[in-house]
A and B are shown apart, each in its own frame.
Chain A
Amino acid sequence: MALEFLKKFFGSGGSKNIAKERLQIVLIHDRADISPEMLEQLRRDMIDVITRYMDIDTSKIEMDFDRADRSVAFVANIPVIRIKRGVAPGKMEQEIPDGGKKAQPKRKPGQPG
């Protein structure tokens, strides 16, 4: 990481790589300031997904951003009540209407996503 940073830094010898890197980091922090509505939406979406696999105590979910100097982590603490039996990830995929296809290779340009 540090090496790569230095390589980038000296590689093209300009201040623009520093500018880009600083912007990327500052924007992670700026964007992590998300609105309460968005956080609530995220909470509901997470509950939707996780309850397919386990029963959870939705009243005790904790979510927050953990801000470090050069990175931001989204941390969620979700108390588990019971894990559902025998729902292997492979089996879950079959329930997806799409036929449980694995992730598409790569989107070709021009092809709608």
Chain B
Amino acid sequence: MDPRVIVITSGKGGVGKTTTTSNISVALARAGHKVVAVDADIGLRNLDVVMGLENRVVYNFIDVLEGTCRLNQALVRDKRVDNLFLLPAAQTRTKDAVSADQMEELCGMLRKEFDFILLDSPAGIESGFRNASIGADEALVITTPEVPAVRDADRIIGLLESMGKSPIRLVINRLRSRLVKQGEMLDVRDVLDILAIDLVGIVPEDDSVVKSANRGEPLTFGDSAPAAQAFQRIASRILGETVPFPDFSEEQGRGFFAGIRKFFGRKE
């Protein structure tokens, strides 16, 4: 299999890029692939704490690019699962510390070592986003079902298209089925109508996301939380499996029928 470099990005900040990167990285590693999660959010690093690896960070990828250390000295191995590594960002540098060429060079180095390279990108449309995306083949765009997030997602999708990324797929995060049922939140169909790109996952609002970030234990290490299952399904779809969207109808406000189907034992 050719290595795949996937940038996880969004227009608006705080919509769940880091959460998605950490959970999908764990799920892909648990499926037996060699994975590196790269924190490409220079100066605002937080993938290390969300993954619970902050105490083991020594170097960062700028050190690698500047020749201060070798790549394998900067990689932090996750001891909870085989084949999962974190490549941290620098906390005390600014986004200008790396160029687009250097980011491409870094991705080239990582391609030789890993099956999956997941890049946790900064939000927005400026140099930080461009640098993080430049070396990627594919993109996951994260949005919540809210007006500002969807609007900014549209902008980012346009930029990613003009950069030639393919596929560009959408994750709808923090869907609240109660609000959807009440007609007080955009549903999945609405968001897809507006953005017109392929959907790769729907993640419900789930308190366990906050708890897992507190503990530094990505949810996909366990299997029970609704968000964990959603991230698990996204990982399977990334691996090319056809996984139905089991909560789709429910999350679209047709919970009654979804309930009936569950009652008759429809399997996922």
In the complex, A19 Cα to B149 Cα: how many Å?
12
Does residue A46 face the partner (Cβ distance < 8 Å to B)?
A: no
In the complex, A14 Cα to B183 Cα: how many Å?
4
CB of A14 within 8 A of CB of B184, answer yes
In the complex, A15 Cα to B162 Cα: how many Å?
33
A15 and B151 in contact (CB under 8 A), knowing A20-B190, A23-B194, A27-B194?
no
In this complex, the member of A17, A19, A35 whose beta carbon has the largest number of chain B beta carbons within 10 angstroms is A19
CB of B151 within 8 A of CB of A19, answer no
Does residue A12 face the partner (Cβ distance < 8 Å to B)?
A: yes
A30 and B150 in contact (CB under 8 A), knowing A14-B183, A15-B184?
no
- Of residues 141 to 175 in B, which have CB atoms within 8 Å of A's CB atoms? 146-147, 150-151, 154-155, 158, 162
Residues of chain A within 8 A (CB-CB) of B186 are 16, 19-20, 23
- Of residues 120 to 157 in B, which have CB atoms within 8 Å of A's CB atoms? 146-147, 150-151, 154-155
Does residue B187 face the partner (Cβ distance < 8 Å to A)?
A: yes
Interface residue count on the B side (C-beta < 8 Å): 18
Residues of chain A within 8 A (CB-CB) of B147 are 19, 22-23, 26
In the complex, A20 Cα to B125 Cα: how many Å?
23
CB of A26 within 8 A of CB of B190, answer no
Does residue B55 face the partner (Cβ distance < 8 Å to A)?
A: no
CB of A30 within 8 A of CB of B151, answer yes
Does residue A106 face the partner (Cβ distance < 8 Å to B)?
A: no
- Of residues 1 to 59 in A, which have CB atoms within 8 Å of B's CB atoms? 12-17, 19-20, 22-24, 26-27, 30-31, 35
Does residue B185 face the partner (Cβ distance < 8 Å to A)?
A: yes
In the complex, A15 Cα to B180 Cα: how many Å?
10
Residues of chain B within 8 A (CB-CB) of A24 are 194
Does residue B182 face the partner (Cβ distance < 8 Å to A)?
A: yes
Residue of B nearest to A14 (CB): B183
CB of B183 within 8 A of CB of A20, answer no
Residue of B nearest to A35 (CB): B162
CB of A27 within 8 A of CB of B183, answer no
Residues of chain B within 8 A (CB-CB) of A23 are 147, 150-151, 186, 194
A16 and B183 in contact (CB under 8 A), knowing A24-B194, A27-B194, A31-B158?
yes
Residues of chain A within 8 A (CB-CB) of B185 are 16, 19
In the complex, A34 Cα to B157 Cα: how many Å?
14
Additional 9 contacts, C-beta under 8 A, given A13-B183, A16-B180, A27-B151? A19-B190, A20-B194, A23-B194, A24-B194, A26-B151, A27-B154, A30-B151, A30-B154, A30-B155
A-B contact pairs, 12 of them (CB 8 A): A14-B182, A14-B183, A15-B183, A15-B184, A16-B180, A16-B187, A17-B183, A20-B190, A23-B186, A24-B194, A30-B155, A31-B158
Residues of A at the B interface (CB closer than 8 Å) are 12-17, 19-20, 22-24, 26-27, 30-31, 35
List the 8 closest pairs (A to B, CB-CB), nearest first.
A14-B183, A12-B183, A14-B184, A20-B190, A19-B147, A15-B184, A16-B186, A16-B183
